[in-house]
Amino acid sequence: EQVAQLATFSEALLEYHQQCTEVLKVLTETLLEKKDEAASRPKLEFVPKTLADLNVEGLPLDHMNGASRSGSPVPSENKRSQLELFPAGNPPTSTNVSPLPSPSKSPARTPMPKQPCCTALYDFEPENPGELGFKENDTITLIQKIDENWFEGSVNGRTGYFPVSYVQVIQPLP
């Protein structure tokens, strides 16, 4: 009986791998076709967009002392000298040269203990008792994974079950 089961298992394994081979052949053919199509198209040179193209103002952290990385002065029509910024008798009390707070000193940047959580991709309306309803972009605390399709979690003081496919896990369960 064991030999018969082993033979059946071996046949099933062979059939599985033959199917895998067929899938890989089709995939390889498709990828080769796409590669040939891409090779026949004219090659476009990559030109990165500038901040001006994107209408984004940069924060010139490297230009805080009026010089660029190359050491040459940065042109500025409204540039004030350090003497105007800090008149005699009122020198700066901080040795911090950055206008931004140090991440280690900033209370908003203190690391929170990372607890398992996810973000809702869509609204979910519960259809059965025990299910957890939420809105798109809600952050849901993960309690446990029930099975491959359902999580248990809590949001806004409510706890319940919800589909895995409706969320993107940010911090996975341990």
pLDDT digits (tens, 9 = 90+) for 151-166: 999 999 999 999 999 9
What's the whole-number mean pLDDT along residues 129-153?
95
Neighbours of 68 (CB within 10 A): 13
- Structural domain count, the chain: 2
63 lies in some domain = no
109 lies in some domain = no
Query: What share of the chain has pLDDT > 90, as a percent?
Result: 52
Task: State yes or no: pLDDT of 112 exceeds 60.
Answer: no
86 lies in some domain = no
Cβ atoms of 126 and 133 within 8 Å: the answer is: yes
103 lies in some domain = no
89 lies in some domain = no
50 lies in some domain = yes
Tokens of 39: 């090779």
151 lies in some domain = yes
Residue 133 belongs to a domain with what CATH number? 2.30.30.40
Task: Among 37, 54, 71, give the residue marking a domain's end.
Answer: 54
108 lies in some domain = no
Query: CA-to-CA distance for 115 and 43, rounded, in angstroms?
Result: 47
Residue, of 58 and 44, whose pLDDT is higher = 44
Bridge partners, residue 117, by sequence: 141, 171
Determine the structural domain holding residue 49 and report its residue range.
1-54
